[in-house]
Amino acid sequence: MGREDPQVSVTLNKLGKICQLHQKYDKAESLFRRALEISRKKPGESREDMARDATSLAELYRVQLDYGKAEVYFKQAIAIRKKLHGQDRFNLAANLNNLASVYYAQGRYGKARELIKQSLEINKKNSENVGTDVAKNLNNLAAVYYYQRIYKKSEELFKEALQMDEKLLGTNHQDVARDLGNLAALYYPMKKYRQAESLFLRALHIDERNPGKIPAAAAVNMTNLAAFYLDQGKFPQAEALYRRALEIRRKNLGSGHPEVLKAMINLGAFYFAAGVYDEAESLFNRAMAAGEKATDKKEEMAALAFNLNYLTALYEERGQYDRTEDLYKKAITMYEKKLGSNHPGIVTALGNLAYF
C-alpha cells in the first residue's frame, strides 16, 4: 500500500479520531490534515473522502472552540456534498446542523436557524432519518428560539421533540431525559416554576436509572435544577446538587477537564451567592490551580477566565480592591491571548475594569 493509496487517508482519519477522543488535539490535527491532503489528490469519485476529512477537521476545531477554522472546513464539506446530487443526503444534513452549532455558539442565531431548518427538511425527506435525527434538529431549533427569547415557538418545538423521542425510544431513554431537561430550562424564564421543577426531577429520575450514561446527562440536569433551587432560595437542595454534579464530572473526566472546572466554579458561585465567601474563594482558587496545571486549550482558558471574573467579584465584595484590579487585568489578558480580542468575555472583563 503506497503513501497515496486511498486506504491510507481512511486509516489516518480513524487514527485522528482516536487522538481526538484522548484529547491529543495537535496530533489529531496533523493526521486529519494529512488525510485531507491525500484525499484531494485522488480522482473525482473520492470527493466524499474530501468531505469526510474536512468534516473531521471542522469537528476538531469546533471542540477546541476555534470557530473560525471550524466554519471554513464545514463549508468545504457542505459544498462538496451539495455537488454529490443527493448521493450523501444524510451527511449533508449532519454538516448543516454542525455548522449551525458553530453559529449558535457565536450567537449568530439567524444563520444557525436557517441551517437547522435546511437540515430538518433533508432529514424529514429521508425515511431512514425520520426520528431521532429529526428530534435532534427540533431540539436545536428550539434552543435557537430560546436564546432569541421566542419562548412560545421554542416550547412547541421542544414538546414535539420530546413526543417523538418518547414514541421512538420509550419514556425512560436518555434522550428523553435530555428533552425533559431542555423543556424544564425553558419553563424557568417563562415563570412556569412548578412545571420546570417537575420536569427536571423526571429527567434526573431517568438519568439515575441509566447508570452507564449518567456522567454527561445527569450532571447537566443536576446543575440546571441546582440553579433553579438557588434562585428559589432553596440553598440546601442547590448545594447538594452542585456537589453531586461536581463529583460525577470529576470521577468520569478527570480533575483538569473543562467540565470539571465549570462544575467547581458553579459550586463556588453558589457559595458566593449564599455569602459563604471563604468556601467560594477556596473553590475558585482550586479551579485556577487545576486549570493552569492542565493544557492551554481554549475550553480550559474560557473556564478559567470566567472563574477570574467570579474571583474578582468576590474580592470586590470584600473590599479587597488591590487584588481586584490585578485579577481583572489577568482575565482580559487570558481572553485576548487564548480566545481572541472579540470574545464576549472581553466585553465583560473590560466593563468590570472600567467600573473598577
The string of pLDDT tens digits covering residues 213-248 is 565 678 888 999 999 999 889 999 999 999 999 998
Position with higher pLDDT, 310 vs 137:
137
Q: Which helix (H) or strand (E) holds 129?
A: none
For the domain made up of 1-87, give the CATH fold.
1.25.40
Position with higher pLDDT, 347 vs 290:
290
pLDDT of residue 346: 33
Position with higher pLDDT, 216 vs 279:
279
pLDDT of residue 350: 33
Average pLDDT over residues 61-88: 87
Residue 264 · residue 257 · CB < 8 Å: no
Would you list the domain boundaries of the chain? 1-87, 254-356
**Per-residue pLDDT tens digits for 256-267:** 777 888 898 899
Q: What is the DSSP letter of 245?
A: H
The lowest-confidence range among 202-206, 208-212, 235-239, 249-253 is 208-212
Cα-based distances in Å from 82 to 24, 78, 129, 166: 32, 6, 18, 33
Cα-based distances in Å from 356 to 64, 316, 351: 32, 9, 9
- pTM of the shown model: 0.79
Cα-based distances in Å from 269 to 18, 172, 314, 318: 35, 32, 9, 15
pLDDT of residue 354: 38
CA distance 324 to 355: 11
Residue 30 · residue 12 · CB < 8 Å: no
CA distance 28 to 319: 47
Would the CATH topology of 1-87 be identical to that of 254-356?
yes
Task: Sort 144 into a burial class: Cβ within 10 Å, 0-12 / 13-18 / 19+.
Answer: buried
- Is the pLDDT confidence value at 186 over 60? yes
Q: Which CATH class is domain 254-356?
A: mainly alpha
